[in-house]
Chain A
Amino acid sequence: GAGVSQSPSNKVTEKGKDVELRCDPISGHTALYWYRQRLGQGLEFLIYFQGNSAPDKSGLPSDRFSAERTGESVSTLTIQRTQQEDSAVYLCASSLELAGADTQYFGPGTRLTVL
Chain B
Amino acid sequence: QKEVEQNSGPLSVPEGAIASLNCTYSDRGSQSFFWYRQYSGKSPELIMFIYSNGDKEDGRFTAQLNKASQYVSLLIRDSQPSDSATYLCAVSSAGGFKTIFGAGTRLFVKA
A binding-site residues for B, Cβ under 8 Å? 31, 33, 35, 41-43, 45, 48, 50, 56, 91, 97-109
Contact flag A103-B98 (CB < 8 Å), given A41-B103, A42-B103, A42-B104? no
B99 to chain A, nearest CB (A): 6
Closest to A41 in B: B103
- Whether A100 and B104, one on each chain, are in contact in the complex, defined by CB atoms closer than 8 angstroms, is no
**Could you say which of B13-21, B42-50, B59-67, B70-78 contacts chain A?**
B42-50
- Whether B98 and A45, one on each chain, are in contact in the complex, defined by CB atoms closer than 8 angstroms, is yes
Closest to B100 in A: A45
How many A-B residue contacts, CB cutoff 8 Å? Answer: 58
A102-B94 Cα distance, complex, nearest whole Å? 11
Main secondary structure of the interface of A (DSSP, over half): loop
Total contacting residues, chain B, CB less than 8 A: 24
Main secondary structure of the interface of B (DSSP, over half): loop
Contact of A31 among B34, B97, B103 (CB under 8 A): B97
- Whether B49 and A103, one on each chain, are in contact in the complex, defined by CB atoms closer than 8 angstroms, is yes
A42-B88 Cα distance, complex, nearest whole Å? 8
- Whether B98 and A104, one on each chain, are in contact in the complex, defined by CB atoms closer than 8 angstroms, is no
Could you say which residues of chain A place their CB within 8 Å of the CB of B29? Answer: none
Which residues of B73-98 have CB atoms within 8 Å of chain A's CB atoms?
88, 90, 92, 94-98
Contact of B97 among A41, A102, A109 (CB under 8 A): A102
